[in-house]
Chains A and B, each alone.
Chain A
Amino acid sequence: MVVFDATMLSLLFRPGSPGPLDPATGARVEHADLRVAALVEQLEKARTVIIIPTPVLSEVLIKAGNRPGSPRRYPAIIGFPARWL
């Protein structure tokens, strides 16, 4: 079981996003897309349960909600009946 935070969810939803800053070095984390892809592959292979706390999803979608698009579709895909098994 793993829990995604808002940073991880942002990288998951929006491929090509600049990586977060490494708190140890202050530099951007490189190859964020590749890291996310590797994690997704690993979680899928292990059939790991993913927890997305509601406040995390809310925080990520707040920003999307202010822009053109269809952010309301995210909970429908993520939510019950859950698919990420």
Chain B
Amino acid sequence: MDGDNEFRFRISAYTPTTMPLGRLAQYLAELAIMLGEEHAIHLVEVDEGSTVLVHKIDHEAVPKIRDRAEAIQMGRAPVTAMRSYKKVNNMLRDDNGAAALLEGVAEILEFPGKRATLPPFMTVSERGEINGEVIRVGGIGDPVPVLLSTEGHTVSGCWAHRSVAKPLAQRLFEPVRLFGEGRWERSPEGQWSMISFRIDSFGQLEAEPLSETVNKLRAIPVDWGEDPIADLLALRHGEELDGGV
């Protein structure tokens, strides 16, 4: 079989000869929920070495699988997928192993499993800022809950006193930068999530498309020379180098 559309789920906990069938079925079930596209994923092979489950993915589902893997890694996949991801990691921890989902040789999703025995952080409080669009400011009490949309997902847990919430409500559905103090939590998988954010002040942002801003930057009359990257390297290392990162 060719390597097209082939994804591998590599588990370090077992070899094919030591993997209990029931456990294998549990991993496969969670993997299917996690990645979605159940009907487009086909187990075709179990490789030697560590247990490597080779899946053939229907062509049209490949971009969706990639997107889902990225969303899980970023912690913004649907709740059911994140739940399965967490469950697989818990299973791996119980099995004293770790795993990875690979497309070809590229690791697209890590399952830290046993490696995720990080010292638990209860919470960390820190001043910070969040960019996004305010999509709801409301509540009968003080402080007032604020719902934010940022990078395609909804952020809850923000709140502001009425003195801040009232002018903020005037910026509904507009991009803003919120300043304040947040409380953050780290999961055993090493992902940070915000528990709450007290908004002390905010600033308005301009919702200009990135491409438009890039055009403005490129329109600035500056003589960049023939090869700015080579110039950068010369600046760092001397004039003998040419090009590269």
Instruction: Please determine whether chains A and B interact with each other in the same assembly.
Output: yes
Chain A interface (Cβ < 8 Å from any Cβ of B): 1, 5-7, 10-15, 17-21, 23, 28, 40-41, 43-44, 46-50, 59-60, 62-64, 67-71, 73-74, 77-78, 80-85
Task: Give the total number of A-B pairs whose CB atoms are below 8 A apart.
Answer: 123
DSSP class of B's interface residues: helix, strand, loop or mixed? mixed
- Report 17 cross-chain contacts, Cβ distance below 8 Å, ordered by A residue: A13-B228, A18-B243, A20-B243, A20-B244, A40-B211, A44-B209, A47-B151, A48-B151, A63-B235, A67-B223, A70-B222, A77-B217, A78-B217, A80-B177, A81-B203, A82-B131, A84-B208
B245 touches A85 (CB 8 A): no
Q: Inside 8 A of B110's CB, which chain A residues have their CB? A: none
Beyond A18-B227, A49-B131, whether A59 also contacts B232 by CB under 8 A is yes
Chain B interface (Cβ < 8 Å from any Cβ of A): 131-132, 150-152, 175, 177, 203-211, 213-214, 216-218, 220-232, 235, 243-245
A6 touches B243 (CB 8 A): no
Q: Inside 8 A of B203's CB, which chain A residues have their CB? A: 80-81
A10 touches B229 (CB 8 A): yes
**Closest 9 A/B residue pairs (Cβ):** A69-B222, A21-B244, A14-B224, A44-B210, A67-B223, A10-B228, A83-B208, A85-B175, A20-B245
Q: Closest B residue to A32 by CB, please name it.
A: B229
Beyond A13-B218, A71-B222, whether A46 also contacts B245 by CB under 8 A is no
Q: Inside 8 A of B209's CB, which chain A residues have their CB? A: 44
Beyond A80-B203, A81-B203, whether A17 also contacts B229 by CB under 8 A is yes
Pick from B177, B211, B228: contact of A63, CB below 8 A.
B228
